[in-house]
Structure 1
């Protein structure tokens, strides 16, 4: 799909995207590059990084791949230093690295719970912490009057509750809290904007393949107000908005991009039955109010 944004909306910017070699992260990397940014992607699998960088460079995008684990402070520091060494600065940090799998609480070990917390929440904070000196106004290679941007990829699982996702819901709740706290403190002290995106079910992603079997996809669509799955492009467009000057006054918010799914519930009564019940109630109201229509009550 054609982007609604100008092709140079991120011209001159440098972005580091964790988990940027596949899925939503790779689409964000691609769209950032197509809109003028230089891109560094961080991940744990060298083969995935190399393939992603090759694809980006084929489009003429300036890109590098840096191997590292967001849970390790030394890896975070090394990757950030390498990004600065290669591109000279850092304007945007996208925390997209995440872990997920289905498990009921009684079958989920504390170690499994901790692993997801470490990748999603501790990893997000670690990257933010190590990036601060490069993102704050007056940092290395920065304009002295303007800070950088942080974008954290979250979810909506913790807004209510989700089956078999207690570990991820807990981790993403922490991510949202990190987003708000850093937006308050670093926005005030360093002019850094911090926001998040909470994607819904996005087709063609590793997450959908792991969490929703093919035979369940059609049922998932039935529960969605827009009756369709999202695309990776949808998340990347939200990321462009939040990291560009179009979103320059947005700070501390997590944008839900899920087609309204988190608001929805299965229909317990078919619409036709509801209409029948409504007519019965309307008739009773008219009778009990001496013929006055309900609109006059």
Structure 2
């Protein structure tokens, strides 16, 4: 994490909720809601994925988290298990379809069932779109769109072969208004939204529900890639005049992945403090041209 202003020895700047906070956050859901279920969270060591893993585990699910950094995954699992929760981790690059296929084969052998997939893996870097390199574009689209698709398809095949359905929740972004500086991610996430809506119909006969959660300005470790000026503007991107928390996104995932949303599919749930109705987010800082 970056150091706060003041140079070496200054207090380390922190963003979002840490494991100690996630272990005790109050929840709207009853204890045991996901007892006996197995939930898979991609990008599980990241801010939103981490919060979702904590919530689902606290509600009784057996949690499997994936990501590309083994040390972060193992640290999360150690802390979940220390809290008496059921969790394991696997290193997985979701951009590689062969790796995803092999992962799900091992997953079936080890866990026998899957009830909920939360696709939280993804990433982007703030930059004017005119400056994107081919490599940079492909890295974001391959992860945010193609990787999400590979996970969705593998899960659907698992449920088809098992003869029962399940739920998928995809973490996306609001693509219809004011998110600037991450055009590659907006394009990829728009694809995920459209894909989810299409598959919600196609896969309904399999008992599969697909929904999306679109966070607004949510304080996570990912904020460290943005400039201090951009971060300072985020609380004013919505009429509630604050940034959201990863726990609020996790609770949305638990709702859409749980029994209360049993008749909900193909939907996009915005958790953005009303930002889609009022406000704009400039991840690269607002250009002078647009300032009034």
| TM-score scaled by length of structure 2 | 0.84
Report the equivalent of 2:198.
181
Name stretches of at least 5 consecutive residues in structure 1 with no aligned partner: 267-297
Equivalent pair of 1:16/1:94 in contact (CA under 8 Å): yes
How many pairs are equivalent?
Answer: 256
Structure exhibiting the larger radius of gyration computed from Cα positions: 1
SS of equivalent residue, structure 2 residue 276: helix
Residues 1:201 and 2:217 aligned together: yes
Please provide the CA RMSD for this pair. Answer: 1.5
SS of equivalent residue, structure 1 residue 262: coil
Shift of 1:263: 1.7
Shift of 1:32: 0.5
- In structure 2, how many angstroms separate the alpha carbons of the residues matched to 1:206 and 1:232? 10
Residues 1:42 and 2:71 aligned together: no
- In structure 1, how many angstroms separate the alpha carbons of the residues matched to 2:96 and 2:90? 14
The one-character-per-residue Cα deviations of 1:44-69 (angstroms, maximum 9, x if unpaired) are 11111111111111111211111110
1:149 to 161, 167, 172: 167
Shift of 1:218: 3.5
- In structure 1, how many angstroms separate the alpha carbons of the residues matched to 2:134 and 2:60? 43
- In structure 1, how many angstroms separate the alpha carbons of the residues matched to 2:26 and 2:176? 32
- In structure 2, how many angstroms separate the alpha carbons of the residues matched to 1:161 and 1:117? 20
Shift of 1:219: 2.6
| TM-score scaled by length of structure 1 | 0.82
Equivalent pair of 2:237/2:279 in contact (CA under 8 Å): yes
Report the equivalent of 1:15.
39
Report the equivalent of 1:168.
185
Name stretches of at least 5 consecutive residues in structure 2 with no aligned partner: 1-24, 281-292
Pairing of 1:72-87 with structure 2 (within 5 A): 72-87=96-111
The one-character-per-residue Cα deviations of 1:226-264 (angstroms, maximum 9, x if unpaired) are 111101110011111111101111100011001011221
Residues 1:210 and 2:210 aligned together: no
Residues 1:119 and 2:143 aligned together: yes
Equivalent pair of 2:178/2:279 in contact (CA under 8 Å): no
Equivalent pair of 2:239/2:279 in contact (CA under 8 Å): no
Q: Which has the higher contact order (CA 8 A, sep 6+)?
A: 2
2:259 to 231, 245, 253: 245
SS of equivalent residue, structure 1 residue 118: helix
Residues 1:25 and 2:40 aligned together: no
Q: When you count helix as a share of all residues, which structure comes out higher?
A: 1
Shift of 1:161: 4.6
